[in-house]
Amino acid sequence: MKNINLSYIISTRNRQSFLEITLEKLLTALQHDEEIVVVDGNSTDGSKQYLQQLFNEGKIHHFISEPDKNQAHAWNKAMLMAKGSIIKKIIDDDVFCYSAIRECKSYMLLNPDVDVVISNDLGSNLHNHKSIQKLSRLPQFEKWNKGIIPSFTFGDVHMLIRKSALAYIGLYNTAYVMMDWEYSLRISYLKTNVAYYTGYNALSVAHPQTISALKNNKLITAQGKRGSIMYEYPGDKAEISLWSKIKIYTGKIIYAVKKAEHKSADEIPVDISSIYSYYYNYIEELNHSLTPAFLEKI
């Protein structure tokens, strides 16, 4: 059997327009020691048929389509299906820099004691795509690394995780709405060997479909309090209600667009292909202008 070093895992449901863009980029970047795993939540928009065709053609390596109990359930299935020694989560509507991911992959292969690599992140809104924020959890990582705080949060959109570490870390908690928030606290609280890459391997794209969790704000707040106690999380500007793609600026941009242009902020822009081309060019050019480094756990 071929040795698989990296598994790209995707969980998706009814997001075909985003999925096609993401998979086109991923398939172009895929290397001989990498595989693609896709878990579809029984889509009804044509995604299932599109993915089945790619699977039949041998372009994706593992594929199932069936109902999921929630997002964490779907991602857990994908992680368990992965054959690679390293797992990289690919979110269907986000943007990834595969040259940066490959640097992270190479670093982990050369340093088998490293369980997790995270990086800086970029954030943007589909309704105002040329406004891109540079996001970093480096100050929190450094405090954690020095033992000042017992845990910190980071987004899994830019995380690579060693599959063998799952035996210690575990899978996503299916009881949590904001599963990556809890997962990052658990990873850091367990003193997992985390390395920080100072480049950008992902760009988080916010749009109306990504902020639906705000409708369950009461549950998220309760889960946040429980998680903060469990992992002795001191708190910072990335509290659970603002985590991942759910950021204050996202809501402000959406409603500013609605007010200024008198159009529905719930609509996805028609020409997302050109928007995503802009994003992919931006993140590649940004990384090429930098000299990223890996900061190791003390």
Both 189 and 160 in one domain: the answer is yes
pLDDT 10s digits, 257-284: 444 444 455 566 668 999 999 999 999 9
Please state the domain count of the chain.
Answer: 2
73 plus 102 within the same structural domain: no
Q: Are strands 116-125 and 128-135 parallel, antiparallel or unpaired?
A: antiparallel
Q: Is 128 strand, coil or helix?
A: strand
Cβ pair 276, 91 in contact under 8 A: no
The residue written with tokens 């985003």 in the block is: 18
Same domain, 270 and 137: yes
Give the per-residue pLDDT at 235. Answer: 84
| Pair 78, 10: CB distance under 8 Å | yes
27: tokens are 């398939």
Longest dimension (CA), the chain: 57
129 & 268 share domain? yes
Q: Which pLDDT does position 23 carry in this prediction?
A: 98
Show the domain range for 78: 1-92
Of 113, 189, 83, nearest to 144 (Cα)?
189
DSSP reduced 3-state for 118: strand
> What was the pLDDT predicted at 252?
46
Write out pLDDT tens, residues 164-213: 999 999 999 999 988 999 999 999 999 999 999 999 999 999 887 765 54
Q: Return the half-sphere exposure (C-beta side, CA atoms, 13 A cut-off) of residue 212.
A: 5
CATH number (domain holding residue 40): 3.90.550.10
Listed as ranges, residues in the chain with pLDDT below 70 are: 1, 210-216, 237-270
Beta strand spans in 15-166 (E): 34-40, 62-65, 86-89, 95-96, 116-125, 128-135, 160-162
